[in-house]
Amino acid sequence: MTTTTGPRQWAVLINDEDQYSLFPSELAVPGGWREAGFTGDREACRRYVDEHWTDMRPASLRRAMDGAGSG
C-alpha cells in the first residue's frame, strides 16, 4: 500500500534576491516572496528552478560585483 504525504501541487516562489523556493500551492505565499508563475508536482517545479535559477549568487551580490568592475 502506497500513501502520499505532503502537498500534491507546488508553486515556485522567488524573493527580492532572485532566490527560488518550492512552496505548497495551497498555502498563502509568505512575506518577502512572490509567485514565479509556475506550479506543478514537485519534480516539475524542481526542473523549472534548475532551468531558471542559473546564477546562485543573491541579486545584491551580483549588483555589487558588477559595480566593482566599473570603477
Element (H, E) at 12: strand 10-15
Residue 2 has pLDDT above 60, yes or no: no
- Dihedral (CA of 26, 28, 33, 34) sign: positive
What 3-state DSSP class applies to 17?
coil
pLDDT tens, position by position, 27-63 = 999 999 999 999 999 999 999 999 999 999 999 999 9
**In the prediction, which pLDDT does 34 show?**
98
Residue 20 has pLDDT above 80, yes or no: yes
CATH number for the domain spanning 35: value is: 3.90.820.10
**In the prediction, which pLDDT does 60 show?**
94
Give domain status of residue 30, yes or no. yes
What pTM was computed for the model? 0.81
How many domains does the structure of the chain reveal? 1
40, 49 Cβ separation under 8 angstroms: no
**In the prediction, which pLDDT does 71 show?**
55
